[in-house]
Amino acid sequence: MDSTTLEVDGSVMEGGGQILRVSAALSCITGTAIKISKIRAGRTTPGLRPQHLCGLQLLRDLCGGGLDGAAIGSTEITLNPGKITSGDHLADPQTAGSVGLLLQASLPCALFTDASTQLCLKGGTNAEMAPQIDYTVKVFKPTLEKFGVHFDCDVKMRGYYPKGGGEVLVTVNPIKQLSPITMTERGTITKIYGRAFVAGVLPYKLAKDMSTAAVRTIRREIKDLYISIPSLQEKDQACGNGNGIIIIAESSTGCVFAGSSLGKKGVYADKVGIEAAEMLLRNLRHNGCVDEFLQDQLIIFMALASGTSRIRCGPVTLHTQTAIHVAEQLTQAKFTISQSDDDQTNNPTFIIECQGAGLSNPHL
């Protein structure tokens, strides 16, 4: 192995696919060769799963690099990045692997090209243990715009477990340099809305039951806002059977939060609605500006930005700590986490501050 290759331990902290996504993306952007070992060592099925392999192959294609050791079940890979180029790229794990996670890995790289890039991402649009595509569009996308990042997301087909079959076309515009963000004042919650859906052969009543239960749960804590969660039956734009709900809350200062849940065999629809509502409420009880799922997704962009970024959040998640660990390994960014001392609620908030590496796009 070349002495300039950086070694990344894939078993530390969160120890899952996130280490792969963040380290491989930063490898491509910084031009640093990496060797990742002990991949997903603590999982019941260690090593690369189809969606991880597909994400790595997409990054390899984006940066015209070399990828060694990449196979299903592999616990060690080496990525030698080349030059990131624009163009059309396809990623299809042939499973219900998350489209949102494929985008997490590839989006940062696509920002550092010479022209707009189109990513055709296939798999599960609404998958367990991953951001639903609705979260990507309604929460992640508007927050990234604060960094100066712009991308379009066109959901051609929704796909559900176990078959997948979803398809999302993402067009990413390159950027010269990311701007730092400050998200420390939440203001008041001004709007709550969402969507409850069924697809395939599942009855429409499930969507109505999820919506009704979610609204009832939120009403117990938030009484003065109109809550709109329409029930939808997806027919032509969905592959397979699925049901779920996502609920979005917006604040007066432009912060966006969400709670979501997917139906499972044997689980009553109202329980799915309640779970999503409680997830949203949990993230509104503290005075933070990002929810527990957005935290870690912002770290790589804070690390790449020029200048100091600050975000206020609830308890810092293990995923966020892991993303910080990897970002500091692969860039010159420096993070600090401190408990906010001006929070009057019983739910403490924290300030994540980052002195960004200020990486510039060499093609613009």
Has 319 been annotated as catalytic? yes
Q: How far apart are CA 124 and CA 121, in angstroms?
A: 9
CB 244 within 8 A of CB 263: yes
Length of the chain: 364
The one-character DSSP state at 138 is: I
Strand positions, DSSP E, 235-283: 238-239, 242-251, 256-262
Of 288, 292, 299, nearest to 342 (Cα)? 288
CB 112 within 8 A of CB 81: no
| All residues at 6 or more sequence positions from 121 whose CB lies less than 8 Å from its CB, including other chains | 91, 99, 102, 103, 106, 167, 168, 169, 170
Here the tokens at position 273 are 């609605």
The one-character DSSP state at 178 is: P
- Looking at 64-144, list the stretches that DSSP marks H as alpha helix, in order from N- to C-terminal side: 99-110, 133-135, 141-144
| DSSP helix/strand/coil, 171 | strand
Catalytic residue selected from 52, 89, 286, 319: 319
CB atoms within 10 A of CB 332: 13
CA distances to 213, 216, 340 from 275, rounded to whole Å, are 9, 12, 28
Phi, psi dihedral angles at 284 (to 5 degrees): -100, -15
Q: How far apart are CA 56 and CA 34, in angstroms?
A: 12
Q: How far apart are CA 258 and CA 290, in angstroms?
A: 9
Q: How far apart are CA 49 and CA 71, in angstroms?
A: 8
Residues with catalytic annotation? 319
